[in-house]
Structure 1
Amino acid sequence: MTDPDVTVVVAVYNTMPYLTECLNSLVGQSIGLDRLEVIAVDDGSTDASGDELDRFAQRYPGTVKVVHQRNSGGPAAPSNRALDIATGRYVYFIGSDDHLGAEALERMVTCADEHGSDVVVGKMVGTNGRYVHQKLYAKNDPDISLYGSALPFTLANTKLFRRELVEKHKLRFPEDLPVGSDQPFTIEACVRARKISVLADYTYYYAVKRGDASNITYRADHLARLRCTARIMEHAAG
């Protein structure tokens, strides 16, 4: 069997009922199940998230792989665990309460193959009052600079990365950062990338603000944010 084109990594912790829509948006991708690998890591959920993941794994064997582990306190450890077993040519990260447009993965993989991109950023929009910086998505750009663009304001890891790049530079998420652990990873991937492409012609990613605003982004305290910011600056300087 040939390796899938893309591995989607989903770090999961207590995100029902949003998780169901997330998973449905993945198995329904136009790229097709045979070109897709979904690795969902349940980080010690105490709601029905773990059961829901197992249900999808049973229903889509060979595509959806589930790992259950003890709670680690953030998305970094489960994301790293998934990266260790990913087999796709590209890897994509999605928040377990968010979802993708139906053609998202197929369009991004096609773009990366066509242009030799190491990183592809698809247009993200916020739902339910979630704010997403839009300046980067003014137009399609097959070769965007990290330095002369709005990219530094859009450093979430919700992008398509060439897995060869990730492994060559041993890119992983710092597990001691409760928030912002995706930033050092994304910054380094963008610095190392030979080419970064932006796709603004389609809504690729729907970022959901939960009804109770319990997303980790909204939950973190100010001191934790400051510590993370200091670490991110040190990493960027390095």
Structure 2
Amino acid sequence: MNPHQAKVSVVVIGYDDAAHVADAVRSALAQGPAVREVVAVDDCSTDGSGALLDALAEGEPRLKVIHRTVNSGGCGSPRNDGIDAASAPYLMFLDSDDVLPPGAVDALLRSAEEHDVQVAAGLCVRRELPSGREVPWERALYTRPTLISRPSRRPRLTHDTLCVNKLYRTDFLREHGIRFPEGRYPYEDFVFTARMLAASPRIVLIPETVYIWHVRRSADRLSISLDRADVGNWRARTEANQAAYEILLNAGEKQLARAVHAKFLDHELRMYTRELELRTPEYRSAWWDLTRAYLSTFDAADFTVNPAAPGRLVARVILACPTPTDLPRLKELAARPARLLPPYTRDGEGTPVWSAELPQVTLEHFLGRAAHLLPAAVDAELRPRARGTRLRLRLHELYGRMAEAGPTSLDVEFVHREEGRVGLSRTAALVADRYGDSWSAQTPVDLSALGAGVWDLRLTLRFRDGTSREVSAHALGGPGLLRRSAIPDLRHGVLLVQPYRTHAGALGLRTASGWRGMTEVVSRRLRRLLH
């Protein structure tokens, strides 16, 4: 590629985002001479975003500003405006609160031209702000350069519903009428991506990071994907999934359509199920009804292929019961990694079932599945003590499969949530309990060495045949088990320690070191109470 040939239009959309839109535009312009133009579409902002863009355009001839006269209520219409206005052979999309990392456009354009494809896609990372912690999006797709002659050869593509980490040939989008839904249409990416895949383009995947998705959970106005407190968000998500399914099915791409359903069961259904206990009874009832109605449109094969998958089991329980049921167990099953908590019930013929109340939800597929693939359940208890803190763990039997596999030990790690570093690493031997229905392990936890932060507990269960499984730990509750403690410490003077239960029911740990750290924790708590 000649670096001096300007071949890419970057479409930036924004509404009332004066605080961030300039950074987004500058990150696009900074991509260099490959960018012919940045098309900034202001969706009738009221906070001065339009004037800010106009001021930037006065000193930058590559910046073209489009002012919508009526707010669209969504992201689709302004992006469609950008498609119409783009003059370069290729285009890509950028949201006003995100940025393109250096070299993103060059990497995508180089691969698109080298392989003569209609779509080039790269890795997107979710950057949590203000911590800066980065989490790759659909990392499995972007481990190495890959040329895909048609999307049906890689059904996993349906899992990457983002439109922003991709470079498209402009004439390909226009020729096939690939556009976003107009107006307010949450999850418009789902529909656009389905239309793109239905057109059967050649696609190249590259491992380079090409998009930084900023996640601001404390923002006054949450993004659509984070604002899940209203059941309307779930309704919109199911409708967008259904639209994507129908687009692919009508295009003759049945395998991709079924992959949309598989993605829904493994991703969306599990994510929202983990949060159900946080919602009001009215929300839970409405969510349950919507979910049952949507799942009833699925084919039987959507549940029978890999029936041991956690999302499929969650779906079968929901379909079997007309009202919300067993939410604590469903939440744990929907966790990552999944945990199936006791009781482990059998019907009158000895077949494993979900519960005595739902014997029609059978679990016989567990009996033929390798133990290291099963949703093993581990309980965890951490009691901070001045004279030594110990982590106690208990692995439950699962229809005889754990004993058959012979669990030997648990690798224990406390991982800093924001920094991703391992603060403590141990291996704890598992010892069978008297009655043979569980195994126990314990290990010391050096709280002083951990220091301040929020820590996730990660476990690896090892079996005697050398196989292993990553497991997460169910946080035991009850009086005194999940409370804040001040522990004297020679290194820090004092440590403020609190084991806690995450939204998915797992054990986590918060620590603050020194008197200053304690003061900050108390101040944050007071601010939350006052607000």
Instruction: Identify whether the pair has TM-score above 0.5, normalized to the shorter chain.
Output: yes
Deviation at 1:146, TM superposition (A): 2.5
Contact kept in structure 2, 1:4 and 1:89, CA below 8 Å: no
Query: What residue is the counterpart of 2:16 in the other structure?
Result: 14
Residue type of the partner of 1:52?
L
Contact kept in structure 1, 2:123 and 2:206, CA below 8 Å: yes
- Structure label with greater radius of gyration: 2
Q: Select 1:165's aligned residue among 172, 178, 182.
A: 172
Verify: 1:134 aligned to 2:139, yes or no: yes
Query: What residue is the counterpart of 2:151 in the other structure?
Result: 146
CA distance in 1 between partners of 2:149 and 2:126 (Å): 23
Q: Cα–Cα, structure 1 residues 113 and 126, in superposed 2: closer, same or farther, change >3 Å?
A: same
More strand by share: 2
Deviation at 1:193, TM superposition (A): 4.0
Contact kept in structure 2, 1:100 and 1:204, CA below 8 Å: yes
Greater RCO, 1 or 2 (C-alpha within 8 Å, sep 6+): 1
Q: Cα–Cα, structure 1 residues 188 and 224, in superposed 2: closer, same or farther, change >3 Å?
A: closer
- How do residues 1-238 of structure 1 correspond to structure 2 at under 5 angstroms? 4-30=6-32, 32=33, 35-61=35-61, 63-69=62-68, 70-128=70-128, 132-143=137-148, 146-149=151-154, 150-158=156-164, 159-176=166-183, 178-200=185-207, 202-210=208-216, 211-212=218-219, 214-219=222-227, 221-238=233-250
Q: Aligned with 2:71: secondary structure?
A: coil
Query: What residue is the counterpart of 2:493 in the other structure?
Result: none
Deviation at 1:133, TM superposition (A): 2.5
Q: What's the Cα RMSD here?
A: 2.2
Structure 1 segments unaligned to the other structure (5+ residues): none
Residue type of the partner of 2:21?
L
Instruction: Map Cα deviations across residues 81-118 of structure 1 (whole Å, 9 max, x no partner).
Output: 11111111011011211111111111111111110011
CA distance in 2 between partners of 1:235 and 1:99 (Å): 30
Q: Which runs of 4+ in 1 moved over 4 A?
A: none
Contact kept in structure 2, 1:130 and 1:207, CA below 8 Å: no
Deviation at 1:46, TM superposition (A): 1.9
Residue type of the partner of 1:181?
E
Deviation at 1:232, TM superposition (A): 2.3
Contact kept in structure 2, 1:104 and 1:205, CA below 8 Å: yes
CA distance in 2 between partners of 1:56 and 1:219 (Å): 31
Q: Cα–Cα, structure 1 residues 193 and 163, in superposed 2: closer, same or farther, change >3 Å?
A: farther
Contact kept in structure 2, 1:118 and 1:196, CA below 8 Å: yes
| Identity across the alignment (%) | 29
TM-score where L is the length of structure 2: 0.41
Q: Aligned with 1:216: secondary structure?
A: coil
Residue type of the partner of 1:139?
R
Q: Aligned with 1:127: secondary structure?
A: strand
Q: Aligned with 1:123: secondary structure?
A: strand
CA distance in 1 between partners of 2:197 and 2:234 (Å): 27
Deviation at 1:144, TM superposition (A): 6.2
Contact kept in structure 1, 2:11 and 2:94, CA below 8 Å: yes
Q: Cα–Cα, structure 1 residues 79 and 232, in superposed 2: closer, same or farther, change >3 Å?
A: same
Deviation at 1:223, TM superposition (A): 1.9
CA distance in 1 between partners of 2:96 and 2:196 (Å): 22
CA distance in 1 between partners of 2:246 and 2:197 (Å): 16
Contact kept in structure 2, 1:14 and 1:45, CA below 8 Å: yes
TM-score where L is the length of structure 1: 0.89
Contact kept in structure 2, 1:54 and 1:66, CA below 8 Å: yes
Q: Cα–Cα, structure 1 residues 45 and 68, in superposed 2: closer, same or farther, change >3 Å?
A: same
Deviation at 1:157, TM superposition (A): 0.9
Instruction: Map Cα deviations across residues 39-81 of structure 1 (whole Å, 9 max, x no partner).
Output: 11111112232222112211212x1111111101001111111
Q: Aligned with 2:209: secondary structure?
A: coil
Residue type of the partner of 1:156?
L
